[in-house]
Amino acid sequence: MLTYDCTGFQLDGSPLRILSGAAHYFRTHPRQWPQRLAALRAMGLNTVETYIPWNLHEPAQGDFRRLTELPAFLDEAARQGLWAIVRPGPYICAEWDNGGLPGWLTARVGRRARTSDPTYLAAVDAYLDVVMPAVVERQCDRGGNVLMVQVENEYGSHGSDADYLRHLADGLARRGVSVPLFTSDGPEEHLLNAGSVPGLLATVNFGSEPEAAFAELRRHRPEDPPFCMEFWNGWFDHWGEKHHTRTPEDAADSLRRILAAGGSVNLYMAHGGTNFGTTAGANHADPPFNSTDWTDSPFQPAVTSYDYDAPLDERGTPTPKFEALRAVLAEFAAEHPEEARYLSDAPPALPAPAPLLAPREVTVDSYAPLSPEDPVHSPVPPTFEELGLEHGLVRYTLRVPGTRPAPVPPESADDSPEGTDAPPPARRAGAVLTVEGLRDRATLWIDGERVAELVRGVEGEPLQVPAGATVELLVESLGRVNYGPQVGETKGITGGVRHERQYLHGCRAEAVRLDDLSGLDFQPEPPSARPHFARGSLPLDSTGDTYLAVPGGRHGHLWVNGFHLGRYDERGPQTTLYCPQPLLQEGANEITLLELGDAAPAVIELRSAAELG
């Protein structure tokens, strides 16, 4: 049984320093978990930490999926000699879409999310009823490896509803959680005051200056041991932003100081992995917290890679930071063998990641048009959530009232027959088109002609649109905000479309899902309309990891054998998408792209290294 006091943790009565590393089961292919977890143990860690993303497991209300993954991951961690820390949310942040909250729920409750609102709590309780039994039966006091369970996540950075936190804590206990419950917040007085729960362990999150952070925690909770639940040894990236790095020496120095201060620690991240599909979150620059020096928009979507400049890179390869942190952990274990305890005695040899495929090109040779669902007709543009769409595309079609001005006749007015020089009836001329509440990017067609690309938060040139024109907008979601007051935002056209001051009503909306390509009809000739899907074949005699690039592509999506790898974007810093070995097979493999810019890529390249600029 795990207990604690101000001096530290004790497991079954003996001292234990928790040396944890974050590795999320949902950001790595299950067949790669053994290698990643064994590498954590080889680094000198004794625990692995993972979140549970609610929206992954309940994408629609009552539709629970992929429930075997968490227990399988915890069991594999035990086989690799690791205890576990589980953080079930319901909010997780994690640079994950909507901070893990389901879009169908936040669209309904709005700013009542993360409060004691009855509708919100009913959904939370239904979720926890489903996911927590697998955690409860694997607790360390029942012979399993789960040491601790978190209540919410950094709640002090969001709100002050103490009844909400107490409901979560009491509910977890009622469901059988008997290991220590804890909260985690920034090391500031007001964050700890609002985010912690009386009687529950309080921990802090930071990247440097551990002495000051632990001193603030001690002032707030003198009876609790020092624990850095998120030691940010790297950082995440946004599209258009330079890749974040932190030197191994600086990260190692902070880790050494955490341990010297008597602290337990969770490396965030030990292995970052990948934001597959459309799971990447976003930030919104609400001053003064986020800088926009590197982008024209306050909306900052996260990249597909969650490399995080972690000790293990995106494909599980040890980096120089891995060696630097392993040296610090080995030094601590040698000096404090009574605290550096492990679930298994001997660490494994450091396992190698999968082999890399040789570079080559895949030529695109078949094509399929977009396959939207049946159209929905609405007076105003419906949001993604109103269409039952978590992510993907929506094509909105509207018509500007009136008729086009008549063409000017070639004859001069002097040649007009007598009596016909009266002015024609007034006709509505062109006026500026405005798309309000665009979330997040759209291609605009006027009468079938592509005229512009619109981006959330970016002021473009005024768009003059004539009366009588047909307006088409293909809108793409780039990830819901995962941190701050914009969490819970809806997607699509959330305001309206105006022609001058007049709203355009009578909208046709067609949702395009990107999670299942099985119904597409690929043909050898490209359809006349763009965008469209394009596919090529990759024959393989043996499989391995690879990185995919789309030369000449502006922005879009990639799939491998029907699995949605994620988004690509010419803005960088990520110019290749990691493709794990388990997604490939010997023989023929289908590589599919959807280019949403104004390009027409002809090839997809396999490259032998990640490219993070």
Residues carrying an active site annotation: 154, 230
Count of CB atoms situated within 10 Å of the CB of 516: 10
Please tell me whether residue 444 adopts helix, strand or coil conformation: strand
Provide DSSP, 168-197: HHHHHHHTT--SPEEEEE-SSHHHHHHH--
Structure tokens that stand for 408 in this block: 């000017």
What residues pair up with 184 in beta bridges, in sequence order? 203
- DSSP H helical segments within 245-344, as ranges? 248-260, 320-335
Q: Cα(182)–Cα(189) distance, rounded to whole angstroms?
A: 17
- DSSP H helical segments within 95-209, as ranges? 103-109, 118-136, 162-174, 189-195
Q: Which strand (E) or helix (H) includes residue 364?
A: strand 360-369
Q: Cα(290)–Cα(260) distance, rounded to whole angstroms?
A: 32
What residues pair up with 364 in beta bridges, in sequence order? 536
Which residue, 465, 463, 451, is CA-closest to 404? Answer: 465
> 424 burial class (0-12, 13-18, 19+ CB within 10 angstroms)?
exposed
Which residue, 224, 235, 234, 237, is CA-closest to 196? Answer: 224
Structure tokens that stand for 189 in this block: 């007085």
Please tell me whether residue 515 adopts helix, strand or coil conformation: coil
Per-residue buried b or exposed e for 75-91, using 16+ beta carbons within 10 Å of the residue's own CB: bbbbebbbbbbbbbbbb
The answer to whether 150 and 200 are in contact (CB under 8 A) is no
Count of CB atoms situated within 10 Å of the CB of 398: 23
Residue 435's Cβ-side half-sphere holds a number of Cα atoms within 13 Å equal to 32
Q: Cα(609)–Cα(564) distance, rounded to whole angstroms?
A: 20
Amino acid at 55: N
Q: Radius of gyration over alpha carbons of the chain, in Å?
A: 27
Contacts of 336 (CB under 8 A, 6+ apart): 17
Structure tokens that stand for 514 in this block: 């990107």
